């Protein structure tokens, strides 16, 4: 079984043209990263109620990356090998966009404890996969990142800075 890692960005504030979470396989890295799953969870529990709006997001490959708020991927199994030092995770990074994989419309409203609606469903990980190539025998190849390649989840439109999300990228090497 391949060594599996997760990169997690918690309480990410949505912002227009913001890189919510990015995974960059930097120059000199000998690791080949295979992105299997990307999640976005609605993390607005306990946030003051606001008027919900729809937010447009894009999952894109990137060809350049400047670190802003570094995040560190963690191993799901402690005996897995360490990642190359130039494998970098970030939130709010400055990136150069490349190929578009997917566009997503996201509800920017807070979930309710008393209703079963879209905002509440955004709390359930299995329902909030932005990308899922599965694993063994799925027939769908993962997104592969060689050196000097990356991927990010970009917020295209956000009319308020009160939305919060948890972004998770699960990958192997």
DSSP letter assigned to residue 14? P
Where along the chain do its domains lie?
A: 4-172
Listing DSSP states for 91-102 in one string gives ES-EEEEEEEEE
pLDDT digits (tens), the chain, 173 positions? 689 999 999 988 888 899 999 999 999 999 999 999 999 887 665 555 555 677 889 999 999 999 888 999 999 999 999 999 999 999 999 999 999 999 988 776 565 566 655 555 555 555 678 888 765 566 778 899 999 999 999 999 876 656 778 899 999 99
What is this structure's pTM? 0.86
Contact present, 133 and 141 (Cβ < 8 Å): yes
Contact present, 19 and 137 (Cβ < 8 Å): no
Contact present, 23 and 33 (Cβ < 8 Å): yes
What whole-number distance in Å separates Cα of residue 142 and Cα of residue 37? 8
What whole-number distance in Å separates Cα of residue 79 and Cα of residue 91? 27
């Amino acid at each position: 079984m391949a060594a599996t890692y997760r990169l997690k960005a918690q309480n990410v504030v949505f912002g227009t043209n913001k890189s919510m979470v990015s995974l960059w396989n930097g120059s000199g890295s000998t690791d080949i990263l295979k992105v299997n799953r990307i999640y976005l969870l609605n993390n607005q529990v306990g946030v003051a109620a606001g008027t919900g709006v729809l937010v447009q997001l894009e999952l894109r490959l990137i060809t350049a990356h400047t670190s802003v708020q570094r995040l560190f991927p963690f191993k799901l199994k402690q005996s897995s090998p360490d990642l190359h030092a130039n494998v970098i995770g970030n939130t709010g990074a400055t990136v150069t966009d490349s190929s578009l994989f997917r566009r997503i419309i996201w509800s920017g409203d807070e979930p309710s404890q008393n209703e079963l609606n879209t905002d509440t469903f955004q709390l359930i990980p299995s329902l909030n996969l932005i990308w899922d190539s599965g694993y063994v025998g799925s027939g769908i190849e993962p997104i592969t990142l060689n050196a000097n390649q990356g991927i990010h989840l970009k917020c295209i439109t956000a009319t308020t800075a009160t939305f919060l999300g948890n972004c998770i990228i699960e990958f192997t090497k």
